Structure 1
Amino acid sequence: MKTLSFVPSPTERDAGPDGTPIRTSIVAPAPAASEERVLDRGCPLPLPAPRGALSAALLDLLQGSVDTERAEAFHDDVARALTARDRATSVVEDDDLQLTLFCLYELHYRGIAGVTDDWEWSPVLLAARERLEALFEAELRARVDVPALPEPVASSVAAALFTLAAQDSGPSIARYVAKDATDDQLRELLVQRSVYQLKEADPHTWAVPRLAGAPKAALVEIQTDEYGGGRPERMHSALFAAAMRGTGLDDTYGAYVDAVPSWTLAALNMMSMFGLHRRLRGAIVGHLAAFEMTSSIPNRLYGNGFRRHGYDETVTRYFDEHVEADAVHEQIAGRDLAGRLAEQDPALLDDIMFGAAACLTVDGWAAAHVLGCWTAGTTSLRSRTDA
């Protein structure tokens, strides 16, 4: 398998004096463990490398003080780029566009290293983001097949969502990981997932102030578990960081952004777009429902895959936690969150089902990319020289 210089490459093991396998070190070893690292001090995203003209222009702009004239020039760059864009080119596969969106969204999360927080609410940047989002959303709505709408009754909506999740025919990375993935591929899986998992739950939390009554209470119940019930070391993002450290990876927030392809960024950008727009609150609720409904069994398989390679509870705890938690969450998300929201406001039902279908579809595209690379004997990650 071809490997990259900034991801864990060695898969061979040396044997110790007693014959016990010893894992070799990786090129970018994890920093030394400490309580501060385990509990996460909220470091911003490291400044990514640009992937094209738009992301280069944005990153250059963000490294200076807020400048309306320069921001307007960037907005004009976006407008010209979208006008000249080949309509046949997929937005989801456009590395430059997805990284640009990702960085604009990151201003609303932890920020970017060296970038002033004053950029977050720049009207010109928001206008530029709106142009990119319009193109992204239009492609999703055109390419995602939404099933027939159920009655806006909690039990009917929940049943329709469970049926949609059960009918998902996307490729299963989980089954491959459980039986066939190499040690190197397990680390790649963690790298691919780290861009979202190290901020796990945050995109869906944007919906909390946009809901009321039973749906709000249901979402808070789910998110309370995601955030460890008030215990920082039990936050799911902290458990995932521990899994990364346990496999020799760097668990720093955003450490592998430059390594992941457009498919991975698109899946997270979709969540951010749904969560940050009140008009798309139905979509983020539907997304979370599908996300939870397709989590429990896959996480059991992921845990088995890591155990197959000799990893201990430090690494598997994240996956094992989700087997039980998400079996409960899927019931809450289907009936009490999505179903009750549809009862409150039937006009949101279309977007609830769209958000669920989009979750399964986009995650399926990302999974197809990863599995296609792995079965071909290549890495699913980008090289440093990819533009």
Structure 2
Amino acid sequence: MRLPPARGPLTDLLFDRLARPPATLPDAPGPDGEEDLQLALFACYELHYQGFDEVDDRWEWEPSLLRLRGLLEDRFERELAGVVPRPAPVPPGEVRRALTVLTAEDDDGPSLSLHLQREAGIDAFREFVIHRSIYHLKEADPHTWAIPRLRGRPKAALVEIQADEYGGGRPERMHCELFGHTMRGLGLDDSYGAYLPRVPAVTLAVTNAMSLFGLHRRLRGALVGHLAAIEMTSSLPNRRYAAGLRRLGGDAAAARFYDEHVQADAVHEQIAAADLCGGFAAAFPALTGDVLYGAACALALERRWAEHVMDSWERGASSLLGQEVPA
């Protein structure tokens, strides 16, 4: 992946410096809007994942860059707190029930999955997949940060979930690899980060929240709750995505990613709610509110992203940056 085009004064300065040898960053301007903020934060986080082709790996731990990342994270955390009501803490034994209620009551707005199942054309489905590629081509990696921060029952539960995400030791079964098949089946570029220049801030925020929770030990409760919310709300939408893709002529290889999630996430849902989050709450009873907040953030960011996509399509516009209107 290469550094994308800048989206404001902050990313303009940041990307210019990242393309040079590591050195102390000068005072950076504040981000000019959400596009500038989320892209800058995504770039800072990406240095802890696969990185960028033209960026020296030593930038990952450059103190001045970490200070900048901290400032961006502070702003992002404040924005999340402003739009996601924090659920009240519950006794550890009530965490599973509270997660079930939270996910069952979530109003996900216009049903993007139903639209893709029944009505969307092939270009709209491609656009949806482009959005998702920012996360699915690194699927599982943000939540894996929690493994060394847990022990006992919740650690074993997370390892069990993540082992499935990584294909049980079979590279061709890794979920990121299966998603690559989906992209290729739709005639899309499946190289890592290929569509970063096209996805808007609302898409980047979904992945940035995972990295924020994953890279800070103090937010480990939010991270396990975030994963539980994803697993508990995944099976039905993925069933619809698979049906929609087959309706549009997708073959078994293209649909396998979604088929796999219908089955795997039905199992993961129980492990995540009972063993991961329930076990975590028993070990850290003071952090039950964090678990529920992480779940609430996952649901809220997903809802906001789906609303953006559907609102764009209803206006006859693309939900991507610089993209033609999908059919």
Q: TM tier, shorter chain?
A: over 0.9
Between the aligned partners of 1:56 and 1:110, the Cα distance in structure 2 is: 21
Aligned-partner Cα distance in 2 for 1:48–1:382: 12
- 1:198 & 1:307 partners in 2: Cα distance? 21
Out of 213, 225, 243, which is 1:274 matched to?
Answer: 213
4+ runs of 1 displaced by more than 3 Å? none
Pair 1:351-2:290 in alignment: yes
Among residues 216, 219, 234, which one is paired with 1:295 in the alignment? Answer: 234
The 3-state SS of whatever aligns with 1:65 is: coil
- 1:165 paired residue among 95, 103, 108: 103
Question: What letter is aligned with 2:40?
Answer: T
Letter of the 2:129 counterpart: L
Structure with the bigger percentage of helix:
2
Deviations 1:258-280 (A, max 9, x none): 00010000110110000000000
2:87–2:289 contact (8 Å) kept in structure 1: no
TM-score, normalised relative to structure 1: 0.82
Counterpart check, 1:51 vs 2:10: no
- Write out per-residue CA displacement over residues 75-128 of structure 1, whole angstroms, 9 at most, x where no aligned residue: x224xx26xx7xxx6xxxx10110000000000000111110010001110011
- Alignment pair present for 1:134 and 2:74: yes
Query: Under a length normalisation based on structure 2, what TM-score does the superposition of the two structures give?
Result: 0.96
Map 1:46-195 to 2 at 5 A.
Answer: 46-68=2-24, 71=25, 73=26, 76-78=27-29, 81=30, 94-153=34-93, 156-171=94-109, 172-195=111-134
Matched residue type, 1:334:
A
Identity %: 54
Could you list the per-position Cα deviations for residues 220-279 of structure 1 after superposition, in whole angstroms to 9, with x for gaps in the alignment? 000000000000000000000000000100000000000001000011011000000000
Q: Would you say the 8 A contact 2:229–2:295 is kept in 1? A: yes
Q: What are the residue-to-residue correspondences of 1:294-373 with 2, within 5 Å?
A: 294-373=233-312
Paired with 1:226 and 1:255, the residues of 2 have a C-alpha distance of 22
Q: Secondary structure at the match of 1:249?
A: coil
SS in 2 for 1:362: helix
Pairwise CA distance, 1:146: 2.9
How far has the Cα of 1:384 moved from its partner? 7.1
The answer to whether the 8 Å contact 2:23/2:62 transfers is no
Deviations, residues 312-334 of structure 1 (Å, cap 9, x unaligned): 10111000000000000010000
Structure 2 unaligned blocks of 5 or more: none
Measured after TM superposition, the shift of residue 147 of structure 1 is 2.9
Please list every run of 5 or more consecutive structure 1 residues that lacks an aligned counterpart in the other structure: 1-44
Match of 1:244 in 2: 183
Counterpart in the other structure of 1:212: 151
Hey, what's the Cα distance between the residues in 2 that align with 1:310 and 1:139?
Answer: 41
Matched, 1:262 2:213: no
Query: Whose radius of gyration is greater, 1 or 2?
Result: 1
1:57 aligned partner, one-letter code: L
